[in-house]
Amino acid sequence: MRALLATLLALALPALAAAEPPRVGIVTPNAPPGTPLRELGYQLYAGNCAECHGTAGAGVAPSQSANGTGDIHAAGPPLRGVGARAADFYLRTGYMPLARADVQPRRSRVLFTPREVDALVAYVGSLGHGPPVPRPHPERGDVAAGLSLFTDHCAGCHQVAARGGYLPGAVAPPLDEATPTQVAEAVRIGPYLMPLFSTRAISDRQLDSIVAYVEYAKRPQDPGGLAIGRIGPVPEGLIAWFVGGAALVGCCVMIGKKAR
Amino acid sequence: MIGRLKDLLVALAVLLLGRRRPGGDPEAERIVPPGSPDRRAEAWVLALFGLATAGSIAFLVVYALDPLAHRTQLLGVALGVALAALGAACLVIATRLVVTEELEEPYPAEHVGDQDAVAQLVAESGDRITRRRLLTLGGAAAGGTLGLALLAPALAVGPVFDTDELAKTPWRRGRALVDEAGRRIAADAIEEEAFYTAFPEGADRETVGAPLVVVRLSPDALHLPPERRGWAPEGIVAYSKICTHAGCAIALYRKPTFPAVEPRPAFVCPCHYSTFDPATGGTVLFGPAGRALPQLPLLVDRSGNLRAAGNFSGPVGPSWWGVRSRKARGA
């Protein structure tokens, strides 16, 4: 019994280690506990963001010569006036920090702790007069209206099932991991190559419906039975041909046997 | 002319009423036992062929009648009746008219004379059929009309001889742009990095030349051809929303967040990823489209609303034979 427990423990330990790998790739300032949030954010910004976004969010234009340590060709848009909204979106999706300026930011592990993210959001939000983090209310939205709006504005790239898609030069990400706040932020910001939608194009009320639909699309009802990947007629046709067709051939064989 | 028609009618009457002499060599010994003629079964087959013909003709008629309610369902019923009747006719022929008999014999090593025997077998199997030519005619009518019915939808691919209609658009100088809800669009309402769809005011939205994509670019990013100077007031450009490749609606707009290192702004068609550059007059950046997206010249009227300043720079919609030699025209 003891040997079994020891074996289980030995098996579980590497798994525990794998669950929380070290946070490699970010600079953590040696700030004493109790440092004000914005002050901590300033220090984090200096260590992790300023190389590309410039001092105090001034931005860095791309240049031929390397301007960072390790021959980094750093370049990034200015952050003055982008507000807490953009910082919250890019940091909590793991889009930032970005290894290279010219690649598409992708959803990845968030290396900052929640308090560090709060600190960075507070700092970037204090650069200029940018919009705050939105608070969507999907419970006030209407899923059916959301589907209609999603079809009009979003499905071209993200597909009507919100499973993402491709376009020349970019990937439209799937929305299954996007939180309601992140969806609301992305609509207003237009990250990377996505167009932005102002309140004139999509009102806050309509945005609630879109968020409600995206939430529904994460776990849609499948009234027909099997979902088969929920990506439309190609896998469904494959099933029809291979399963339905085989069944028909089987029927033909049975009929032929009886007639003999 | 009349004489010929008379000949035709006489020939038809002979065909319908005349009976064919039994074929084959009367002297040869029969292989297939002679069966008694079955006039009722033949009548059934003729009736079913007639039904198949009627179904096919009904398909053609329904297809030609555009504004019919439940047209798709009626087309399905007509085609279903035609196919079912044809199948039933074949069943009746097989079970009631062709002599059936099961023979078992060892397969001969030599094949001398077997081919003649097979030919005789085939000829004699049809002996019971008395009105052979009438049945053939009925079958040909059913098969022919069904073939026509299946070919008819190919006409929907487009006009074959008169492509003039394709170049017509509802746009002309002074026609206002409206949004999905029919409201006029103020130039101020068009924001950079966003993407808008517009339609002609007071015109049919369903025509291929009606829908537009409208975006605002910063004026120094615009590099329109010199003859299009003044087509983009305040940097607002409008293009046909219909892809010049296969006619899908251009539903994708990509805009860089940080233009210095990211791909340039472009319209993208979701069907085959044809990519058009709004800054240079809709030229093709990528994909299967063979010609630029037609641009609509714009002007801002006194109340600040967007209006067309003319017609498109080229014919709208998917390409066809000789499309490059055409110009967009007012309807």
Per-residue pLDDT of chain A (260 residues), as tens digits, is 566 666 665 555 555 555 667 777 788 888 888 889 889 999 999 989 988 898 888 888 887 666 555 666 678 899 988 999 999 999 999 999 888 877 899 999 998 999 999 999 999 999 988 899 999 999 999 999 999 999 988 998 898 889 888 888 889 999 999 999 999 999 999 999 999 998 888 999 999 999 999 999 998 887 777 778 777 788 888 988 999 999 999 988 887 776 55
Hey, are the CB atoms on A156 and B194 less than 8 Å from each other? Answer: no
How does residue B80 score in pLDDT terms, banded at 50, 70 and 90? very high
Q: Show contacts of A73-76: CB within 8 Å, 24+ apart.
A: A73/A101, A74/A101, A75/A101, A75/A102, A75/B258, A75/B260, A75/B261, A76/A52, A76/A101, A76/B258
Residues 6+ apart with CB under 8 A from B30: B124
Question: What is the arithmetic mean of pLDDT over B100-118?
Answer: 72
- For residue B198, what pLDDT is reported? 94
Hey, are the CB atoms on B194 and A201 less than 8 Å from each other? Answer: yes
Sheet of B177-178: strands edge to edge? B177-178, B196-200, B212-216, B236-240, B295-296
pLDDT tens profile B23-68: 555 667 777 777 778 888 899 999 999 999 999 999 999 988 877 8
Hey, are the CB atoms on B257 and A193 less than 8 Å from each other? Answer: yes
Residue with tokens 């889009």, as numbered in its chain: A95
Best mutation target, B257, B264, B271, to test chain A (most A CBs within 10 A): B257
Hey, are the CB atoms on B257 and A170 less than 8 Å from each other? Answer: no
How does residue B331 score in pLDDT terms, banded at 50, 70 and 90? low
- For residue A70, what pLDDT is reported? 60
Hey, are the CB atoms on B193 and A192 less than 8 Å from each other? Answer: no
Instruction: Select, from the ranges B92-101, B123-132, B144-153, the one with the highest average predicted confidence (pLDDT).
Output: B144-153
Residue A128 Cα distances to A39, A70, A189, B191, angstroms: 16, 31, 16, 21
Closest-CA residue to B331 (of B228, B248, B210, B215): B210
Residues 6+ apart with CB under 8 A from B170: B200, B203, B204, B207, B209, B210, B330, B331
Q: How far B224 CA lies from chain A's nearest CA (Å)?
A: 22
- For residue A205, what pLDDT is reported? 94
Q: In angstroms, rounded to a whole number, what is the distance separating the alpha carbons of residues B180 and B307?
A: 16
A window 1-60, beta carbon within 8 A of B: none
Q: What SS3 class is residue B280?
A: helix
- The torsion angle over the Cα atoms of residues A220, A223, A226 and A229, rounded to 10 degrees, is -40
- For residue A16, what pLDDT is reported? 53
CA dihedral over A21, A26, A27, A29, signed as positive or negative: negative
In this complex, which of A75, A168, A190 lies closest to B260 when CB atoms are compared? Answer: A75
**What tokens appear for A248 in the block?**
């028909």
Element (H, E) at B177: strand B177-178
Interface residue A63 vs chain B (CB under 8 A) = no
A window 154-213, beta carbon within 8 A of B: 155-157, 165-170, 190-198, 200-201
Q: Give contacts of A201 with chain B, Cβ < 8 Å.
A: 194, 196
Is this model's pTM higher than 0.80 or not? no
Hey, are the CB atoms on A61 and B266 less than 8 Å from each other? Answer: no
Q: At what angle do helices B39-64 and B71-92 cross, to 10 degrees?
A: 160
Interface residue B123 vs chain A (CB under 8 A) = no
Mean pLDDT of chain B: 86
Residues 6+ apart with CB under 8 A from B215: B190, B194, B195, B196, B236, B237, B253, B255, B265, B278
